[in-house]
């Protein structure tokens, strides 16, 4: 959420930012409602002052004069009740419009309507070459009996899956290597809830716009699609200490996404599933743009280094305006080479928000002068499973149908080859 004073003083800039993000935001409507909000508050303040004045007069008035003041007080009370009701309704509209105002993208964000307009800024490794006809991960995993997609759909429905045997070992190996790698960067591990209250989703910007992609319980909670939601809400309505260093979490949780609007996309395999697991990097730092930029680059590089440990070809792109979310100032995506599709597919996103999320969640700190400020927030995928298995298996497949285990994962898997030849 942006500050209303900032919105009023920079209306043209915010409109331009919304246009760059290809989002609708009624800034003029919001400012008109804000004018009415301020007018009603002033009106109520004047009536409360009048009420206090009349109350003092009643103390000394007598007889008919006192009755006259009491009658006037009743009219004043009725008028205040009407004004309070109007203000309540105006505030609801004001809050609704405030929640729709997008953050302003950084000047370095490229123009574009969707992910096809994202700009490659780095490429690491060359697409894997094979001297045999390669298979996709579905065929390989099914043949090795390390995944069952047919029974997954039978039990869990569309996009359901079972990991089995060495498929489970491989996924757990990724988790363990990620814990070691990202913890060594100074991130503090934390296991966080997936079942989260609505306030946390509003605070992080996933609601109200993204409700169609969330699973909701009968009790009003939601299942989160990322550990970012619970981690950011950890310090909701608190003042934190940033005097020595940023708050840096490495959060793990199950994740759930309905994939609304993704009908017909990636309907097979492990690319796009409803239930998965993810390590997430989340940072709260001082409210300084340069600090956010530095941490953003650092978070993204942490994941690049992890992918390089696995020696999987990847490229990094800067997301265009139309591929940014409501609160994001800038975002990078890391995309891994998927031989079965002959293309790169997203594995990680790194974003910074300035104080957009912390203002909604009321997370503040005291600067060197003792002034309260809203912190800046950032997050980046460390690594998700099972999606990462797609690139591991397809890039490391061998001619005999087995899978070579990436060297960095061998200590955790306990073998160097998955399949008959490796047993």
Helix (H) or strand (E) holding 255: strand 247-256
Radius of gyration of the chain (CA): 27
Q: Which of 159, 286, 360, 387 is catalytic?
A: 387
Contact 378, 362 (CB under 8 A): no
Q: Is 19 exposed, middle or buried (0-12, 13-18, 19+ CB in 10 A)?
A: middle
Q: Catalytic annotation on 258? A: no
Residue 54 annotated as catalytic: no
Buried b (16+ CB within 10 A) or exposed e, 49-82: eeeeebeeeeeeeeeeeeeeeeeebeeeeeebee
The catalytic residue among 41, 199, 346, 366 is: 346
Rounded Cα distance, 17 and 38, in Å: 26
Torsion of CA 296, 272, 346, 305, to 10 degrees: 70
Catalytic site residue from 159, 257, 360, 364: 257
What single-letter DSSP state applies at residue 409? G
- Start-to-end CA span in the chain (Å): 55
Specify the DSSP element, H or E, that contains 330: strand 330-338
Report DSSP state, residue 342: T
Q: Which of 251, 292, 349, 377 is catalytic?
A: 349
Q: Tell me, yes or no, if 349 is annotated catalytic.
A: yes
Give the C-alpha separation, 318 to 316, whole Å.
Answer: 7
Tokens, residue 114? 């969707």
Concerning whether 301 is annotated as a catalytic residue, the answer is no
Residues 197 and 216: beta-carbon distance below 8 Å: no
Nearest to 233 by CA among 257, 273, 206: 206
Name the token pair of 263: 């009908």
**Helix 27-60 with 11-20: angle, nearest 10 deg:** 140
Helices within 157-233 (DSSP H only)? 166-183, 198-204, 228-233
Annotated active-site residue in 8, 272, 311, 366: 272
Active-site annotation holds for 346: yes
Task: Give 299's strand partners.
Answer: none
Active-site positions read 257, 272, 346, 349, 387
């Amino acid at each position: 959420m942006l500050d209303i004073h900032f919105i009023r003083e920079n209306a043209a800039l915010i409109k331009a930012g919304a246009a760059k993000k290809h989002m609708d935001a009624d800034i003029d409507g919001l400012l008109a409602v804000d004018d009415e909000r301020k007018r009603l508050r002033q009106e109520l303040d004047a009536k409360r002052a009048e009420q206090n004045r009349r109350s003092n007069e009643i103390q000394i008035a007598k007889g008919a004069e006192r009755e006259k003041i009491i009658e006037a007080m009743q009219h004043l009370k009725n008028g205040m009740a009407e004004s309070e009701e109007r203000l309540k309704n105006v505030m609801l509209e004001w809050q609704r419009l405030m929640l729709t105002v997008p953050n302003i993208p950084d000047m370095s964000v490229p123009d574009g309507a969707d992910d096809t307009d994202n700009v490659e800024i780095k490429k690491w490794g060359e697409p894997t070459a094979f001297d045999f006809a390669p298979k996709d991960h579905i065929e390989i995993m099914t043949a090795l009996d390390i995944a069952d997609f047919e029974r997954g759909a039978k039990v869990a429905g569309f996009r359901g899956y079972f990991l089995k045997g060495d498929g489970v070992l491989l996924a757990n190996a990724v988790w363990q290597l990620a814990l070691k790698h990202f913890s060594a960067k100074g991130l503090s591990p934390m296991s966080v809830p997936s079942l989260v209250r609505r306030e946390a989703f509003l605070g992080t910007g996933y609601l109200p716009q993204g409700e169609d992609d969330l699973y909701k319980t009968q009790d009003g909670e939601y299942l989160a699609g990322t550990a970012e939601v619970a981690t950011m809400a950890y310090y909701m309505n608190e003042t934190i200490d940033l005097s020595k260093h940023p708050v840096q979490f490495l959060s793990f949780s199950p994740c759930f996404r309905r994939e609304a609007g993704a009908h017909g996309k990636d309907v097979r395999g492990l690319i796009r599933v409803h239930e998965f697991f993810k390590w997430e990097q989340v940072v709260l730092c001082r409210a300084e743009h340069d600090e956010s930029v530095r941490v953003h680059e650092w978070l993204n590089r942490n994941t690049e280094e992890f992918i390089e440990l696995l020696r999987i070809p990847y490229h990094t792109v800067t997301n265009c305006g139309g591929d940014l979310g409501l609160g994001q100032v800038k975002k990078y995506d890391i995309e891994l080479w998927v031989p079965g599709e002959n293309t790169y597919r997203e594995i990680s996103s790194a974003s910074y928000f300035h104080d957009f999320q912390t203002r909604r969640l009321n997370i503040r700190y005291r600067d060197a002068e003792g002034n309260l400020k809203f912190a800046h927030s950032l997050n980046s995928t460390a690594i998700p499973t099972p999606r990462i298995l797609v690139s591991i298996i397809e890039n490391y497949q061998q001619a005999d149908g087995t899978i070579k285990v990436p060297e960095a994962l061998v200590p955790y898997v306990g073998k160097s080859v998955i399949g008959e030849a490796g047993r």
